[in-house]
């Protein structure tokens, strides 16, 4: 019985450690960057990507793009971002821009925001 208690305690510790690490990893991915979540076949996402390329914004701003249609890790990050921005988990759309706790959805709002940078 005593071994069983220790086993449960160790499992709880491992679980909590992995949750903390996962959250810290997500923050490290997002901190200090303009993150744009996009889908590989999303036409509105392509408009944003084309704008970034045409204006060479990757050279001027700390922009990172995370694909979410096929990348499950990026999907999890998007879900955490949506929760932080208080977005409905069932209606999360792309393109979505995240910076410093703020979210913008849609090609034109994102482009308008990038024009101010």
Rounded-to-integer distance, Cα 82 and Cα 102, Å: 10
Choose between 83 and 21: higher pLDDT: 83
3-state secondary structure 28-75: HHHCCCEEEEECCCCHHHHHHHHHHHHCCHHHHCCEEEEECCCCHHHH
Average pLDDT, the chain: 84
Residue 36 scores a pLDDT above 50: yes
Tell me what the mean pLDDT of segment 53-63 comes to: 97
Closest by CA to 75, choosing from 65, 66, 83, 63, is 66
pLDDT band at 21 (very low <50, low <70, confident <90, very high): very low
pTM above 0.75, yes or no: yes
Rounded-to-integer distance, Cα 109 and Cα 95, Å: 10
């Amino acid at each position: 019985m005593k071994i069983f208690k220790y086993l449960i305690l160790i499992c709880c510790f491992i679980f909590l450690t992995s949750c903390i690490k996962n959250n810290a990893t997500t923050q490290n991915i997002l901190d200090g960057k303009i993150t744009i979540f996009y889908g590989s076949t999303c036409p509105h996402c392509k408009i944003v990507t084309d704008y970034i390329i045409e204006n060479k914004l990757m050279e001027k701003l700390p922009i990172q793009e995370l694909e979410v249609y096929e990348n499950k890790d990026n999907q999890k990050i998007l879900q955490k971002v949506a929760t932080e921005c208080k977005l409905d988990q069932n209606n999360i759309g792309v393109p979505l821009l995240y910076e410093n706790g703020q979210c913008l959805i849609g090609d034109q709002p994102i482009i308008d925001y990038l024009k101010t940078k």
